[in-house]
Amino acid sequence: MVSRNAPCHCGSGKKFKKCCMNSNQGFTLGGVRAGEQMYVEFLGNKNRVNTSLNSSNDQGYVELLDLGILYKRTGHYEKAKETYIQAIKLEPKRSMAYYNLGKILYILEEYEASVKSYQTALELGHKKLEPMRHLGYSLLAQNIEPSDENVMKYYLQSINPTKRYTYKKPTQAQITGYEKRCVEAAQAYLEAAMKGQ
């Protein structure tokens, strides 16, 4: 079990209690949700995942999240991706691995998979604001306008601080405008997904 005062395993630099504690404890038992099943199938694992929860799963899940963060921080993105997929298979009803995987997939320019990962994190009850913003970035990255490249690289630098990107720093107005478009794109995407279910 992660201590409330320990640094959060999502890599935000905040204490666990001030960051992801509530979203990590917000999972529920029961059948696989629609978005979760979609993402498990997207990963190529069509077999039903064991969803029983116990303390060894919890510890293993947190260890996998920590390992994924370590791989990300050292630039081993494929290994981070594999590690988060292992965490998802271990605990498919918890949102944090999907959320962290979404960032890795974005860094790897696998935008469609990143969208699915963030969508699943939201469906599993992850805090709304951050995944919505990241989901929007993943959606807009699929058709990036040349005028938005600096904002996109600025965002990429924020989720991947270990690598240095060359870009002209966007103004706060440019960032705010782009992030507003991100949230609008995410809302429209989720509304369309809900109508399609």
Q: What does the pLDDT look like over 14-60, one tens digit per residue?
A: 776 676 655 443 332 233 333 333 333 333 333 333 334 444 577 88
Torsion sign, CA atoms 58, 95, 12, 113? positive
Query: What is the rounded CA–CA span in Å between residue 149 and residue 162?
Result: 19
Can you say how many angstroms the Cα of residue 30 is from the centroid of all Cα atoms in its chain? 22
140-171 pLDDT, tens digit per residue, is 998 888 889 999 999 999 998 888 888 899 99
Instruction: Return all residues near 178 (Cβ < 8 A) that are at least 6 apart.
Output: 140, 148, 151, 170
Residue 188 pLDDT > 60: yes
In which element (H, E) is residue 171 found? none
Is the model more confident about 157 or about 5? 157
57-108 pLDDT, tens digit per residue, is 778 899 999 999 999 999 999 999 999 999 999 999 999 999 999 999 999 9
- How many other C-beta atoms lie within 10 A of the C-beta of residue 153? 17
- Residue 132, amino acid: M
Adjacent-strand bridge partners of 15: 7
- Report the range out of 2-6, 52-56, 112-116, 132-136 with the highest average pLDDT: 112-116
